[in-house]
Amino acid sequence: MSSIPFSLAQIEAFACVCETNNLSTAAKRLQKSRTTVSELVETLEDNLGYILFNRQKRPLELTKEGHQLYAQARLFLHEANCFNQQARQIPNDNRKTLTICYDLFTAQRFIQQLIAYFAEQQIKINLLNIERHLGEKIILAGQADIGLYPAVNRMINADFKWRAIGIVELGIYAHQDFFMAKPTAISMLELASSNQLLPFIQPAAQTIASIKVADAIQIVTDINLLKQLLIEKQGWGLLPKHLFGTHSLPITCFNSDLGNKGIIQTLVAIWSPATDKQLSQIIQQIANLYETN
């Protein structure tokens, strides 16, 4: 059996006339002239070898054959629309840049690894060192792709998706002579009664609950200045250990009777659900890289 020639425009015109029962109304909807729509339908009928509309009726009525073809025409147009959307999406999937928000819980050496790793894939990374509440805002605004932040142990709303990336270990840091006595473990009472340095303006409630110990706190967002205050014995901080990986500063990581409570934070990636499939693959790559870090 030989195939029947037809075009997408013919099927679209046929379906639109079916739904409006009027050539002029269909023409307006399709933004074509009435003559063009009429010719498209007539050419389709000629190719099929039978009539699709009873033109003696007003409004137009589908013939028995027309009824049988309309449902298939609608399915065909749906598939054509899916093809169009997928075809338009493909150029967007080939990312050239990636914008990541993060704070001091993400180690600088890991950020450097990300830069090198994605450079090999010809993806340039824009890096925004900002607190989570700001990171969430610009992700929602479409100005950033991914946020790397400590988990907040709350239900993420419909605005965000998330997945765990790894853990961040925290320690109690102060000048080696900051605490008067040097017991094997600094007591909670001594920590609570000493000035605590916090590197956040507006941390998430769960984050502040896990890292705030002292009654008196001092906010210092510049991490280099915060380290200087530690050196000057102006306070102590519960901070990520990667900030003090290799240094010759007179700053010590003290043991405390906190044990591991509040010392481990889970690092998560957050992103908007309205993103392309490539971003999900990139997040998986970030998680794999962090695991081998």
Lowest mean pLDDT among 74-88, 120-134, 238-252: 74-88
Angstrom distance (rounded) from CA 38 to CA 44:
10
Q: How confident is the model at residue 204 (pLDDT cuts 50, 70, 90)?
A: low
Q: Under CATH, which number does the domain 97-291 receive?
A: 3.40.190.290
Lowest mean pLDDT among 49-63, 130-144, 239-253: 239-253
Contact yes or no for 147/100 (Cβ under 8 A): yes
Q: How confident is the model at residue 292 (pLDDT cuts 50, 70, 90)?
A: confident
pTM of the model: 0.63
Lowest mean pLDDT among 81-90, 140-149, 174-183: 81-90
Lowest mean pLDDT among 61-70, 198-207, 264-273: 198-207
Contact yes or no for 232/157 (Cβ under 8 A): no
Instruction: Please give the single-letter amino acid code of residue 238.
Output: L
Q: How far is CA 249 from the centre of its chain?
A: 38
3-state SS of the chain is CCCCCCCHHHHHHHHHHHHHCCHHHHHHHHCCCHHHHHHHHHHHHHHHCCCCEECCCCCCEECHHHHHHHHHHHHHHHHHHHHHHHHHHHHHHCCCEEEEEECCCCCHHHHHHHHHHHHCCCCEEEEEECCHHHHHHHHHCCCCCEEEEECCCCCCCCCCEEEEEEEEEEEEEEECCCCCCCCCCECHHHHHCCCEEECCCCCCHHHHHHHCCCCCEEECCCHHHHHHHHHCCCCEEEEEHHHHCCCCCCEEEECECCCCCCCEEEEEEEECCCCCHHHHHHHHHHHHHHHCC
Lowest mean pLDDT among 3-7, 12-16, 207-211, 289-293: 207-211
Report, as an integer, the average pLDDT of 18-38.
92
The per-residue pLDDT for 182 is 60
The per-residue pLDDT for 43 is 92
Question: What residues are paired with 206 via a beta bridge?
Answer: none
Asked if pLDDT for residue 171 goes beyond 60, the answer is: yes
Domains of the chain by residue range: 8-90, 97-291
Asked if pLDDT for residue 81 goes beyond 60, the answer is: yes
The per-residue pLDDT for 160 is 85
Q: How confident is the model at residue 256 (pLDDT cuts 50, 70, 90)?
A: confident
Q: Do domains 8-90 and 97-291 have the same CATH topology?
A: no
Q: How confident is the model at residue 14 (pLDDT cuts 50, 70, 90)?
A: very high
Architecture of domain 8-90: Orthogonal Bundle (1.10)
The pLDDT tens digits for 133-161 are 899 999 988 899 999 998 876 555 567 88
Asked if pLDDT for residue 189 goes beyond 90, the answer is: no
Lowest mean pLDDT among 4-18, 87-101, 158-172, 224-238: 87-101
Which bin fits 153, alpha (ψ -120 to 50), beta or left (φ > 0)? left
Asked if pLDDT for residue 164 goes beyond 80, the answer is: yes
The per-residue pLDDT for 264 is 86
Q: How confident is the model at residue 12 (pLDDT cuts 50, 70, 90)?
A: very high
The per-residue pLDDT for 226 is 94
Report, as an integer, the average pLDDT of 26-38.
92
Q: How confident is the model at residue 274 (pLDDT cuts 50, 70, 90)?
A: confident
